[in-house]
Amino acid sequence: MAVYTKVNQTEIEIIENKFNIGKVLSFSGIKKGIENTNYLIKTNKKKYILTIFEKRVDKKDLPFFMKLMYGLSKLKIVCPNPIKNKKGSYLFKIKGKSACLVTFLRGEEKKKLSSSDCRQIGKNIAVLHKATKKLKIKRKNSLSINLLHKISNKIDKRINKLSKNLKTNMISDLEKLRKTWPRSLPNGVIHSDLFIDNIFFYKKKFYGFIDFYFSCTDYYAYELATCVNALCFDKKKKKFILNKKKSYNLIKGYEAKRKLTNNEKNAFNTLCKGSALRYLLTRAYDYLNTPKNAVIKKKNPREYLDKLNFHKKINRFSEYLR
């Protein structure tokens, strides 16, 4: 979440009139995240999140995201539920951009995860995957390994200031991964962006997932690999090192609800490298191109360079366990 598009009182009043949400008492921008503009809206009835869709979200995909969150809510998966306006539509325009209003989830992200937290998360990722299988919807992954060249081509040599020959190395890594990427694994709709700030806890227990705007159809094990990268590395002496107790518990929590196949285990290292490269590329692009006036905390791509380099040094699934 972030703030690129500034919203004023008049625009909030227009939203208030379009929805049956009660009287708006306050609204404030949410700085976290990097993709879309988000505001917390408090009314005399409830709290809501206003999302204004920015650069990387294709408006053609928006109905998919609305159907996904609505469908998951119906299946008792705790996540934001999109709100229909008085005309029966989830989507509307604000400052010429598509937007939606969703329910506010109680709870909050944990600043630091324990091994026990990772096991809870792993279990609930598998529950999420089983639930999405019941929804007859799909969306192509616009950031799949075969489409990442669209981002790498836009990154110029300024990125080499972070690491020598980084642009050339990223392109080389991408070509290698495209050749070794698994052709067929169990798949379905995944969240595709399960970072710590998209996972909520309430009263010290897992509560729900937020921010489904990268959700797509892809390998289930790719989601798990993304979570190993996002949740299971600790920073030590300025380097990111895998915490194997966390990755062990994340994977075992997942397998408590859905067993990984041998093919998924054999491909896991490749999936981890692909996920690390995906975030290295998108963060590198954002690092160079985020507007100076955006209310946002930029994320350093170097973190994912460390993680990619770690995965290059190992190749067996067992090396992600104890």
- Quick one: pLDDT at residue 43? 97
Amino acid at 205: K
> Count of CB atoms within 10 A of residue 222's CB?
27
pLDDT digits (tens, 9 = 90+) for 177-230: 999 999 999 999 999 999 999 999 999 999 999 999 999 999 999 999 999 999
| Residue 105 CA neighbour count, 13 Å, CB half | 23
Helices 62-74, 115-132: crossing angle, 10 deg rounding: 110
In the block, tokens 């609930």 appear at 124
Query: Could you give the 3-state DSSP secondary structure of residue 92?
Result: strand
* pTM: predicted TM-score of the whole model, two decimal places: 0.93
Residue 189 to residue 134: CA distance in whole angstroms: 10
- Quick one: pLDDT at residue 34? 64
In the block, tokens 């990111």 appear at 240
3-state helix, strand, coil in the chain (%, to 5): 45, 20, 40
- Quick one: pLDDT at residue 1? 45
Tokens of 172: 């080389």
Torsion over CA: 255, 257, 263, 269 (sign): negative
What's the CATH class of domain 115-320?
A: alpha beta
- Among 92, 68, 73, 5, residue whose Cα is nearest residue 215: 68
Q: Tell me yes or no: is domain 9-103 CATH 3.90.1150.10.
A: no
Strands 239-242 and 233-236: antiparallel
Q: Who's near 8: CB < 8 A, 6+ residues apart?
A: none
Residue 208 to residue 108: CA distance in whole angstroms: 9
Bridge partners of 178?
none
Q: Where in the chain is the domain with CATH 3.90.1200.10?
A: 115-320
Residues of the chain with pLDDT under 70: 1-3, 33-34, 291-297
Tokens of 151: 């981002």
- Quick one: pLDDT at residue 295? 57
Q: Cβ(141)–Cβ(193) under 8 Å?
A: no
Helices (H) and strands (E) in the chain — how many of each? Answer: 9, 11
Q: Where in the chain is the domain with CATH 3.30.200.20?
A: 9-103
- Quick one: pLDDT at residue 302? 93
Residue 188 to residue 222: CA distance in whole angstroms: 11
| φ, ψ dihedrals at 199, nearest 5° | -125, 115
Residue 113 to residue 260: CA distance in whole angstroms: 23
- Among 154, 152, 206, 141, residue whose Cα is nearest residue 176: 152
Residue 106 to residue 208: CA distance in whole angstroms: 9
pLDDT digits (tens, 9 = 90+) for 66-85: 999 999 999 999 999 999 99
| Residue 294 CA neighbour count, 13 Å, CB half | 23
